[in-house]
Structure 1
């Protein structure tokens, strides 16, 4: 198992409640699991956006 780092983040009450609701629903065992899942989704989303911007159609739109 990879080593883990501890990061402290300030969240809005709405985000805190959202995380708590996900854990309470039983889908995740901890707030850390929710955040890890969210970061994986963000990474996937950004990768998809990067590959779309590299398509010929996207390049021609950018050049216009």
Structure 2
């Protein structure tokens, strides 16, 4: 799967990797998606209602 990230989000992922908390960009993205899932659960969004693509402006980053 490829995910498009803005330069700012790409830098954010790189910063998270630099802390050593995450071993890969995929781990950073999964952590963010888990937070989004939890937020949508709290708001009462139906299961599976997550958008089919997660994107920002900018180039594509392979995960």
TM-score (normalizing by structure 1): 0.67
User: Rg bigger for which structure?
Assistant: 1
Aligned pairs, number: 45
Measure the CA separation in 1 of the matches of 2:35 and 2:5: 18
Larger relative contact order (Cα-Cα within 8 Å, sequence gap ≥ 6): 2
Q: Tell me the C-alpha RMSD between the 2 structures.
A: 1.2
Unpaired segments ≥5 residues, structure 1? 1-6, 52-64
Q: Which of 19, 28, 32 does residue 26 from structure 2 map onto?
A: 32
> Greater share of strand residues, 1 or 2?
2
Unpaired segments ≥5 residues, structure 2? 46-63
> Greater share of helix residues, 1 or 2?
1
Measure the CA separation in 2 of the matches of 1:36 and 1:9: 12
